[in-house]
Structures are given as C-alpha cells and as structure tokens.
C-alpha cells in the first residue's frame, strides 16, 4: 500500500512536459543508439511479453545507474523526451519515456526510489535504474 501511495505522489510531482512542439528523436537515431536490431527484438519480444525484450548494454548486470547516467550513456537529452507512464509490477516500477515516433524507452527502478522521490523530492533523473529496453511505441 505504501508503494502505491508513493507512486501516486510521484506521478503528481513529476514534471510532465507534454509540449507538442518537443522534437522527439528520429527512429533512425534510436536504431543506431540501441546498437542492435530493435525491430527484430520488438517482433520477437511482443510475442512473448515485456520481459522477453532484450536489455540494452547500458547498465551491467547486478548494478544500477542513475537515470541521468543512463541517458548520458545513450546520448539522450531528457528535454527531447517525456515520461509516458510509470508502471508498477510487484516491487519494480517501469518508467516509460517517449523516445521517437515509433519507440519507447523503458527503465526499471525499484519501489524505494519512488518513495525517495515522493518524500524527499529527489530529482527523477537521480533515481537508480537498470534493465533498459526499447519497445514499440504502440505496445
């Protein structure tokens, strides 16, 4: 219950810049950034569910990085994206960012990060993340 309340508080506190003039990245940029065939990954993963999508080689297994560090490693400017949703699944929260017209970036975080953001106003970009994936925007 505490995690659900923290999630609601987080969503209320997040900067929701839904500016339609914001220029998302091109699909070609995303394909190059991912350094893999994301279209084939998406086709295979969609048939098996979200966890079947391959994790991008950004955060080493067993470690975390701040969302800011993840964006930097992928050469992404957070001002060019917006948070679509924060999805809770057990003790994990997925942050889904609009990345391009065809792709969404997903970053896994744990519930404690949400509590810190809601209670201490920790910046969203300082949250610890892992399990970075690219999905089709219309998944």
Q: Where are the domains of the chain?
A: 2-11+22-136
Question: Average pLDDT for residues 94-115, to the nearest whole number?
Answer: 83
pTM: 0.75
Average pLDDT of the chain is 76
Query: What's residue 60's pLDDT?
Result: 93
Query: What's residue 120's pLDDT?
Result: 58
Q: d(Cα 98, Cα 104) in Å, to the nearest integer? A: 5
| Angle in degrees, CA 27, 59, 80, rounded to 5 | 35
**Which H or E element spans position 68?**
helix 67-73
Query: What's residue 17's pLDDT?
Result: 46
Residue 118 to residues 17, 64, 102, 107, Cα–Cα distance (Å): 18, 20, 31, 18
Most confident of 3-12, 54-63, 119-128: 54-63
């Amino acid at each position: 219950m505490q995690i659900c309340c923290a999630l609601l508080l987080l969503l209320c506190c997040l900067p929701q810049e839904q500016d339609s003039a914001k220029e998302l990245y091109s699909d070609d940029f995303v394909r190059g950034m991912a350094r893999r065939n994301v279209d084939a990954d998406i086709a295979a993963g969609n048939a098996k569910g979200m966890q079947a999508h391959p994790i991008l080689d950004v955060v080493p297994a067993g470690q975390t990085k701040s969302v800011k560090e993840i964006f930097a490693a992928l050469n992404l400017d957070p001002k060019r994206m917006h948070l679509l949703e924060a999805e809770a699944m057990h003790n994990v929260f997925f942050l889904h960012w609009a990345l391009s017209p065809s792709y969404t970036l997903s970053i896994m975080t744990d519930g404690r990060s949400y509590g810190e953001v809601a209670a201490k106003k920790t910046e969203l970009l300082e949250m610890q993340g892992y399990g970075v994936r690219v999905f089709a925007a219309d998944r």
